[in-house]
Structures are given as C-alpha cells and as structure tokens.
Amino acid sequence: MLVVKTLHIWMVISWFAGLFYLPRIFVNLAMVPAESVAERDRLLLMAGKLYKFMTPLGVFAVLTGLWLWFGYGISGGWLHAKTTLVAVLAVYHWHCGRVLKQFQTGGNKKTHIWYRFYNELPVVVLLIVLFLVVLKPF
C-alpha cells in the first residue's frame, strides 16, 4: 500500500501543477491584444497540451485515492469533506476544459482580473484538503 500511497501523492502533485498553471495561461490569454495572433496561438497550444497532460493525472490521482480509501478502510467526517473537495476540483478541472474551448473559439468574455481570482480556487482547496488529511479534525 505504500507504493499506492506514493503514486497517489505523485499524481496529486502533478495534477495540481496543471490546476495551478492552466488558469494562469488563461490570465495571459485574456490579456493578449487582438492583433497578437502568434502569441494567442502559442498560448492556446500550451494550454491545450497541458489540459491533455493533466487530465489523466487527475483521473489516476482520484483512482489511487479511492484505492487507498477502500484498501485501508479509512473513515471519518474529514474524509467526506475531503472527498467533497476533490469533487469540487474535478468540476473545476472540467470547467477549465470549457474555458479553454471558449478561448479556442473566440468566445471568452471574461477579463484577466476574473481569471486571476479563478486561479486561486485550487490553492485554497489544496490548503483545506491538507489540513483535513493531516489533522483529521472530525
């Protein structure tokens, strides 16, 4: 089970790297002037590749987390709270894909300031999840 735990931590770290960086690319995309086609295309290419890379990492992070949950038989209110937050992150990940499609089709209507706040959600969720996992407060 320690191998599974190690893989889970590795997948979570890798998935979060994408969850932190992809919205930052959205900030930059929202700031690109209309005449900077090459810059926009380069950022869209980066965002698309990152999304394709981070999606399987998120899936494997969740699967190894479930393996640990059922393998160790872990229980407690803290685990339900953590699981809810992981579901929030999965929806956030899915929404990032929708935002990327909006940028690709020219349908983005939000400003770079909005994306700066949007970028903070996974940071806050990670902090809460870490406290739940380490402290197991309930």
Alpha-carbon gap, residue 86 to 131, rounded angstroms? 14
Tokens of 134: 């380490």
Interaxial angle between packed helices 121-135 and 2-31, expressed in degrees from 0 to 180 and rounded to the nearest 10: 160
- The pLDDT value given to residue 9: 97
CA distance 51 to 128: 24
Show pLDDT as tens, one digit a residue, over the chain (138 residues): 899 999 999 999 999 999 999 999 999 999 999 899 999 999 999 999 999 999 999 999 999 999 999 988 888 899 999 999 999 999 999 999 999 999 999 999 999 999 999 999 999 999 999 999 999 999
SS (H, E, C) 82-137: HHHHHHHHHHHHHHHHHHHHHHHHCCCCCCHHHHHHHCCHHHHHHHHHHHHHHHCC
Specify the pLDDT at position 75. 84
**pTM of the predicted structure, to 2 decimals:** 0.94
